Amino acid sequence: MSQVLHPIEKTIIKLLKTTPNLTEEQIVEKTNLSIDQTRRGIEWLRLKNLATVSESEKSFVKLGTNGLRAKQDGLPERKLVNLIESQPMSFSDLQKKLGNEINVAIANAKKNNWINIEKAEPSNIVSLNQKPEQTREEKMISYIGDNGKVAADQIKDTATLESIKKRPDYIIVETTKSRTVLLSEQAKTIDVEKEDIGAIDVEAEVPRVYAARTHPLKDTIDEIREVFVSLGFSEVMGNYTQPSFWNFDALFTPQDHPAREMQDTFYIKDKLAEKFASADQIKKVSAAHKKGWKYDWSVDAAKKMVLRTHTTCVTIKYLADHKPQEDRVFSLGRVFRNEKVSYKHLVEFNQVEGIVVGKNVSLRDLMGIQTEFYKKMGLYKIKFWPTFFPYTEPSLQTMVYNERLGKWVELFGMGIFRPEVTRPFGITRPVLAWGGGIERIAMLKYGLDDVREFYNNNLSWLRNVTKCQ
Amino acid sequence: MPVVTLYLNRLEKLVGKSSKSKILDALPFLGLDIEEETKEYVKVEYSPNRPDYATDVGIAAGLQGLFGTKKGLEKIIIKKSDRLALIKTDSSVKKIRPFVCGIIAKNGKLDDEAIKQLIALQEDLHFGVGRRRKKASVGIHDLDALSLPLVYTVKSKDHKFVPLTMTASMSVAEILEKTDVGHDYGKLIQGQKVPMIIDSKNNTISFPPIINSAMTTVSTKTTNLLVEVTGTDKNSTEDALAVVATTLQGLGFTLYDLKTDSKSSSLIFKTRPMPLDPNLVNQTLGLDLTSATICNYLRKCRLDASPRGKKIMCNIPRFRFDIFGPMDLVEEVALGYGIQNLTPTLPLSASVGQKNAITKKMDQLGQIMVGLGFTEALNTSLTSKRTLYDETKRNSSKLIEVAESKSLEYTILRDSLLPELLENLSRNVHESYPQNIFEIGTVFFGDSPINESVSLACISADKDASFTKIKATLQSLLKTGSDIECKTKTSTNPIFEQGKTADVIVNDKKIGVIGQIDSKVIENFKIRVPVSGFEIALSDFF
């Protein structure tokens, strides 16, 4: 197998083939590599099983402050014998010259059998006994001093070293950890000169880059939009802020109904709609409320601006303004609920709603369009249950079986607009309507359990979630 | 949506001739969503327009219909009472809460579960048909604890009695001030005089619509009941009474007349005739059913129906006030037929679908931003004053606020996309840089009465983010997207660094702003690298 090697790796291999088992520092010394380059290169080789690294501890000795002074001026006992070389001196005179080194000097000189001490008054007399030869200690101090730093294991005369160590601050022992690099058998066979020059390590790890992308929820929204278009629906749009008239009154929701109260609707402070519907539309909606709910409908309540609670306000306005005989339209976008935010509730989420107007369209058709929609979204196991919506009759909801959760999940709602809703706007043909929250579908798609994730814009999620689902 | 707990043993006994599994399978087809299921009970969500489903007797009646063991409507039978069974209305109450009606129910038994369900039923009626007790409120009393006849009259605020769940007597003023119900519903009775129901021994029975008296508390020992409903709308009080009476009869009570003034309560429970065209049924459901079959399905939904000529004549019990017109009967037929038996059909489309032009343009511009290396973010239209104005040092004098938001984080409609994008960066400081994000979204301005427009904003955060780089991005976006050349004209803007910001000008018109984000703003968002960005209004390109 041919290995692609970096120039650093080549330099190290080349060196170790001729001089095996070097430490990192030694490699630095013998090449033009910096310590960082060397370490990096060794790490690469290690990962490729071309080298092993054995860590070991190594002790060095060097002279301490007193040791250095002794090397320059001599040991105290040497100073002593130098003073008495020509003639004996009294103890008190020697003390004046040697200071507090006197005791050490006398003790060692005596041990070496260099001096005689004669009892006398007022002070003992010290005289030379024999010619003082250079001692082992002196030799070692001068050896260590000349080399600056000596590996402890190079000193054979350990007894002498130990005796010098007993003198305070003569010897400093330093322990360093060293990493010795050994080439593997495979590496030893590599001829670095023959390696392909300019090749790169195609097997190495590279830094991660992230593709810029559209938001995953947006992708789901687009997918749903495409499905609607493919089923023959055209998109209509409307504002997020709506007069209560289109959000509630036009859908036959009575003005004193608890659903209109603050609790789940966002009313916009100090904002009233000015011109929001034709005089005829207002008149007829008012009449429908009076007849159906038996109360006095107020135009002022209808003017209050709200953040739309559903996209139905857009579809009903489209129907009221265009009075189509045959049509398929959908509206898609944000809707708002004044609720506490939790893992399953948001104050602002996306909803889609489709409507079909036609002469003979039926509830079974509505179920058929639903089935087709879910099929295109990749959802095949569905069933329908009856339910209640204030502005449709009959009303159904779809249940979709989710394999991951192992249970039926409620998805879109559907129904046929009540005559009380359509009649005031002169719509005589049946209007099939269906829709629901998009985040719920996107959660199933991306396997999320917390709906808030869609709006956290957490980059690690946005960058890593699989796009093609 | 309200929820009721159904104990399966009880329900099985009530339904009769059935099994638990059959009942569980059928519940969704009555329109009841199973929320929770254990061996002993299921919790089901029912629609607020069917308060009779607050109790298991109501649900049992529905199931018997679906199973075909009992069909047609359950007739309400009212027995005659003696002349003392009466609620007299004093004219003084007419101006405050004018309507009252009631019923007497005897020889029944209530266990804890039945009492719990009756209370839930009462609350549903208060909320829905009662419009939070304004139009109607219901009081259920132990008949044996009171003395007939009753008087519905007014009392002043120093009137005292022992209210339900209390042991000491309280004045009306105290009840309004010190109790939860007093707080919640006190606003329904303005003025110095309040409605009160008093018995013949001058004991207080009820202080509608706030609270009953403790004297007539219903317990599991109670066998005879008196129900009174008061309100501001006659129809609503009678609707509410009909639901309670039907439920009590279902629980095994015998109903007796309780006159209000001279009117017998049996008049309230008259059924309502409603004709139905079989063609409407067949067209709406996409079926081809005979009149006789349709009648059978209606009877399975516990209504009366019989063919009359080409039409069908239905009789609807009083408590089914959710039935407005023939279309509601069509739904009943669908339920009787069984939704599971309806096979879907796919109608051919006569139209070719298309996306909205604005949506298309937004998508296209988004694609260009992705091509320029920006990842899409999505933020909410509602945000906080802190993010939108305070931390970005922007002028908040024209803010658009929503009323009574449940969260401080969602109170203001955004007039710019940049602040939330900065907020996004501040949550991602531990992620690798460069961080380039954009958003296309709606912004709101406070005129006529609210003007909405679509903006595109992007920001780039990196150690070498600069004005030059972001201007290059802007130029490329406009050139690639719409073949537009833009100019940047020196300006000032609090969100941007002084001397490093400009207005974006296209055809002599300002369409947006661009610049290096101000260092104090960056600090406010705890971002540690330079950030530059722009925001432009897209409405001009659509």
DSSP A126-183: EEE-SPPPPPHHHHHHHHHHHHS-EEGGG---HHHHHHHHHSTTSEEEEEEEEEEEEE
What's the CA gap between A318 and A281, in Å, rounded? 13
In this model, does residue A197 exceed pLDDT 70? no
Looking at the partner chain, which of A416, A418, A459 has a beta carbon nearest the beta carbon of B428? Answer: A459
> Looking at residue A451, what is its pLDDT?
95
With contacts defined as CB-CB under 8 Å, which chain A residues touch B370? Answer: 212-214
Across residues B421-434, what is the average pLDDT? 96
A88 vs B: CB within 8 A:
no
* Burial of B89 per CB tally in 10 Å (0-12, 13-18, 19+): middle
What's the CA gap between B145 and B142, in Å, rounded? 6
To which H or E segment does residue A394 belong? Answer: strand A392-402
Cβ–Cβ < 8 Å for A195, A432: no
In this model, does residue B478 exceed pLDDT 90? yes
Cβ–Cβ < 8 Å for B406, B450: no
* Domain B78-269 part of CATH 3.50.40.10: yes
Residue B161: name the closest of B197, B204, B202 by CA: B204
CA distance to partner chain B, nearest, from residue A258 (Å): 7
In this model, does residue A96 exceed pLDDT 50? yes
pLDDT tens digit sequence for B207-247 = 999 999 999 999 999 999 999 999 999 999 999 999 999 99
Q: At what angle do helices A76-83 and A91-98 cross, to 10 degrees?
A: 130
Across residues B24-48, what is the average pLDDT? 92
Task: State the amino acid at position A224 in one-letter form.
Answer: I
* CATH code linked to domain A216-464: 3.30.930.10
To which H or E segment does residue A456 belong? Answer: helix A453-456
CA distance to partner chain A, nearest, from residue B418 (Å): 14
pLDDT tens digit sequence for A23-49 = 888 899 999 999 989 999 999 889 888
pLDDT tens digit sequence for A391-427 = 999 999 999 998 888 888 889 999 999 999 999 999 9
In this model, does residue B259 exceed pLDDT 70? yes
Confidence band (pLDDT; 50, 70, 90) for A1?
A: very low
Nearest chain A residue to B437 by CA distance is: A212
- Decide if B342 and A384 are in contact by the 8 Å CB cutoff: yes
> Looking at residue A86, what is its pLDDT?
83
Pairing of strands A234-235, A241-243: unpaired
To which H or E segment does residue B7 belong? Answer: strand B3-7
A168 vs B: CB within 8 A:
no
In this model, does residue B352 exceed pLDDT 90? no
In this model, does residue A195 exceed pLDDT 70? no
In this model, does residue A262 exceed pLDDT 60? no
What's the CA gap between B316 and B302, in Å, rounded? 9
- Overall pTM > 0.90: no
The residue among A131 and B375 whose pLDDT is bigger is B375
Query: CB atoms < 10 A from the CB of A320, how many?
Result: 22
Size of interface A-B (CB pairs under 8 A): 260
Fold of A65-175: Arc Repressor Mutant, subunit A (1.10.10)
In this model, does residue B1 exceed pLDDT 50? yes
Cβ–Cβ < 8 Å for A282, A250: no
- Decide if A240 and B381 are in contact by the 8 Å CB cutoff: yes
Of the listed ranges A99-113, B5-19, B219-233, B391-405, the least confidently predicted one is A99-113
With contacts defined as CB-CB under 8 Å, which chain B residues touch A276? Answer: none
> Looking at residue A198, what is its pLDDT?
64
Across residues B351-379, what is the average pLDDT? 94
Q: Can you read off the two tokens belonging to residue B191?
A: 């003025």
> Looking at residue A196, what is its pLDDT?
64
What is the average pLDDT value for chain A, to the nearest integer? 89
Runs of H (alpha helix) within B397-441: 418-426
What's the CA gap between A56 and B25, in Å, rounded? 76
A 290-329 residues with CB < 8 A to B = 292, 294-295, 305, 307, 326-328
Mutate to test the interface with A, among B323, B330, B358, B378 (most CBs of A within 10 A): B378
Confidence band (pLDDT; 50, 70, 90) for A382?
A: very high
Phi and psi of B379, rounded to 5°? Answer: -125, 165
Of the listed ranges A132-136, B340-344, B453-457, the least confidently predicted one is A132-136
Nearest chain A residue to B337 by CA distance is: A386
Residue A311: name the closest of A438, A142, A157 by CA: A438
Confidence band (pLDDT; 50, 70, 90) for A154?
A: confident
Nearest chain B residue to A266 by CA distance is: B402
With contacts defined as CB-CB under 8 Å, which chain B residues touch A290? Answer: none
pLDDT more than 90, % of chain A: 47
Q: Can you read off the two tokens belonging to residue B388?
A: 């939108």
B268 Cβ contact partners less than 8 Å away, ≥ 6 residues apart: B101, B238, B241, B242, B318
Confidence band (pLDDT; 50, 70, 90) for B440?
A: very high
A363 vs B: CB within 8 A:
yes
With contacts defined as CB-CB under 8 Å, which chain A residues touch B33? Answer: 385, 387, 410
pLDDT tens digit sequence for B445-456 = 988 789 999 999
Find the angle CA(A142)-CA(A146)-CA(A151) to the nearest 5 degrees: 95
In this model, does residue A84 exceed pLDDT 50? yes
Confidence band (pLDDT; 50, 70, 90) for A130?
A: confident
Whole-number CA gyration radius for chain B: 33
What is the average pLDDT value for chain B, to the nearest integer? 94
B417 Cβ contact partners less than 8 Å away, ≥ 6 residues apart: B379, B439, B441, B443, B455, B456, B457, B535
Looking at the partner chain, which of A394, A420, A430 has a beta carbon nearest the beta carbon of B324? Answer: A420
What's the CA gap between A307 and A333, in Å, rounded? 12
In B10-167 the beta strands, taken as DSSP E runs, fall at 33-37, 41-45, 78-79, 86-89, 99-106, 137-142, 150-156, 160-161
A214 vs B: CB within 8 A:
yes
What's the CA gap between B495 and B382, in Å, rounded? 20
For chain B, helix, strand, coil in percent to 5 are 35, 30, 35
What's the CA gap between B350 and A426, in Å, rounded? 22
With contacts defined as CB-CB under 8 Å, which chain A residues touch B376? Answer: 213-215, 218, 462
Of the listed ranges A171-185, B172-186, B398-412, the least confidently predicted one is A171-185
> Looking at residue B154, what is its pLDDT?
95
- Taken as a whole, chain B contains a residue count of 542
Confidence band (pLDDT; 50, 70, 90) for A2?
A: low
Query: CB atoms < 10 A from the CB of B193, how many?
Result: 18
CATH class of B272-339: alpha beta
- In whole angstroms, what separates CA A457 from the centre of its chain? 14
Which residue bears the tokens 């032009």? B357
In this model, does residue B166 exceed pLDDT 50? yes
> Looking at residue A57, what is its pLDDT?
84
Which residue bears the tokens 């707080």? B183
pLDDT tens digit sequence for A430-453 = 999 999 999 999 998 898 999 999
Domain residue ranges of chain A, discontinuous segments joined by +: 7-50+184-194, 65-175, 216-464
With contacts defined as CB-CB under 8 Å, which chain A residues touch B339? Answer: 384-386, 396
Cis amide linkage into residue B419, ω under 30° from 0 = no
CA distance to partner chain A, nearest, from residue B357 (Å): 9
Measure Cα distances from A422 to A365, A428, B276, B427 in Å: 19, 7, 19, 48
Residue B13, sorted as left (phi over 0), alpha (psi -120 to 50) or beta, turns out to be: alpha
- Decide if B334 and A218 are in contact by the 8 Å CB cutoff: no
* Domain B357-541 part of CATH 3.20.20.450: no
CATH class of B3-67: alpha beta
Pairing of strands B375-376, B435-445: parallel
With contacts defined as CB-CB under 8 Å, which chain A residues touch B402? Answer: 266-269, 307, 338
Residue B146: name the closest of B106, B204, B208, B93 by CA: B204
A46 Cβ contact partners less than 8 Å away, ≥ 6 residues apart: A52, A53
Across residues A255-260, what is the average pLDDT? 77
Nearest chain A residue to B335 by CA distance is: A386
Measure Cα distances from A348 to A269, A331, A340, B381 in Å: 18, 16, 11, 8
Residue B122's SS3 state is: helix
Residue A91's SS3 state is: helix
Cβ–Cβ < 8 Å for A338, A266: yes
